[in-house]
């Protein structure tokens, strides 16, 4: 892949976050290669880490663009033109098409987006409240082939496509112009009635110096309903235990109620063809390991 970029003088490519993380953590991969033709990389399918975007910009002068998208034509794009700050680009997407929010470019004029509470159907206009992203636009598909019932369920009463992904308005002030990805509707861990986004923890854990990759999932808890378990793929001989991992996560600013209560070591994370972690498979594997002791 890297040699092809050099040989064909590629100026834009796409790569999953796990690949970009691995290259940055293993600089020997690019020793002797000329990547000067490459001006930008599009990445998505999983949350991006700020350290990764910053690392590519500082080390090679290459901007990584954050992409959220689906085969049905719902797409958000966070690139250097609209989001110059690397940390904000990793976390947020411009709220293009949202009522009262203006962004430059043709894409912003061709789409409409909104957040809807999946339980009540209410449109969310306040920061920090997760809701399903609903999408309408010229690129959005019209329906699934030969599947009328599935097509009907894919759209709401106003014709917006139900993405099945949870976002929230990122904050007040200038952050009110951004969406923040929270997770898949069915991936959310509910601990004592409080929602915890696995994607947020995966994002932070990707920057741990002793881990090649990591992901979390919810496992049953008699008292709180669910608790967080972290599946770790170590990069060497050092594997942090639950206490050491919690201390590191708190140092990154993670709230105490989101900390993992258990950890397991795995050889690799289960991923689908889009390189996304398959959370259901991960959970089954984790439960098997915990049961085996």
Q: pLDDT tens for residues 230-242?
A: 999 999 999 999 9
C-beta contacts of 287-291 below 8 A and 24+ residues apart: 287/219, 289/264, 290/219, 290/229, 290/262, 290/264
Residues 152-196 pLDDT 10s? 989 999 999 999 899 999 999 999 999 999 887 778 888 877 778
Return the pLDDT at 192.
78
Residues 54-112 pLDDT 10s? 999 999 999 999 999 888 999 999 999 999 999 999 999 999 999 999 999 888 899 99
Q: Residues 219, 289: contact at Cβ < 8 Å?
A: no
* pLDDT band for position 123 (cuts 50, 70, 90): very high
Give the count of beta carbons closer than 10 Å to the beta carbon of residue 238: 10
The strand pair at 225-234 and 211-221 is best described as: antiparallel
Collapsing DSSP to helix, strand or coil, 148 comes out as helix
pTM: 0.71
**Among 12, 66, 22, residue whose Cα is nearest residue 43:** 66
Give the count of beta carbons closer than 10 Å to the beta carbon of residue 32: 6
Q: Domains in the chain, start-ordered, CATH in brackets?
A: 1-69 (3.40.50.980), 95-185 (2.30.38.10), 189-292 (3.30.300.30)
Largest CA distance in the chain: 58
Give the count of beta carbons closer than 10 Å to the beta carbon of residue 251: 8
Instruction: List C-alpha distances in Å: 90 to 84, 111, 275.
Output: 10, 22, 18
Residues 279-293 pLDDT 10s? 989 999 999 999 887
């Amino acid at each position: 892949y890297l040699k092809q970029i050099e040989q064909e003088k590629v100026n834009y490519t796409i790569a999953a976050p796990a690949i970009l993380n691995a290259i940055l953590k293993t600089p020997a991969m690019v020793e002797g290669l000329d990547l000067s033709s490459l001006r930008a990389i599009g990445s998505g399918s999983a949350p991006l880490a700020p350290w990764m975007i910053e690392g590519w910009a500082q080390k090679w002068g290459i901007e990584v663009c954050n992409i959220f998208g689906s085969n049905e034509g719902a797409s958000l794009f966070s690139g250097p033109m609209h989001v110059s700050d690397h940390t904000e680009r990793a976390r947020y997407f411009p709220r293009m098409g949202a009522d009262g929010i203006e962004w430059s470019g043709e894409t912003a004029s061709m789409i409409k987006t909104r957040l809807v509470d999946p339980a009540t159907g209410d449109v969310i206009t306040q920061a920090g409240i997760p809701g399903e992203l609903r999408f309408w636009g010229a690129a959005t598909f019209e329906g699934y082939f030969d599947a009328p019932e599935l097509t009907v369920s894919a759209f709401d009463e106003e014709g917006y496509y139900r993405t099945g992904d949870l976002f929230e308005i990122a904050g007040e002030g200038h952050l009110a112009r951004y969406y923040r990805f929270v997770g898949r509707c069915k991936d959310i861990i509910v601990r004592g009635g409080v929602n915890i986004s696995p994607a947020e923890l995966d994002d932070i854990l990707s920057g741990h110096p002793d881990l090649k990759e990591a992901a979390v999932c919810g496992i049953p808890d008699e008292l709180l309903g669910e608790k967080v378990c972290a599946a770790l793929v170590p990069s060497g001989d050092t594997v942090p235990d639950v206490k050491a991992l919690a201390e590191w996560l708190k140092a990154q600013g993670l709230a105490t109620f989101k900390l993992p209560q258990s950890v397991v070591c795995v050889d690799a994370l289960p991923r689908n063809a889009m390189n996304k972690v398959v959370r259901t498979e991960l959970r089954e594997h984790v439960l098997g390991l915990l049961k085996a002791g």
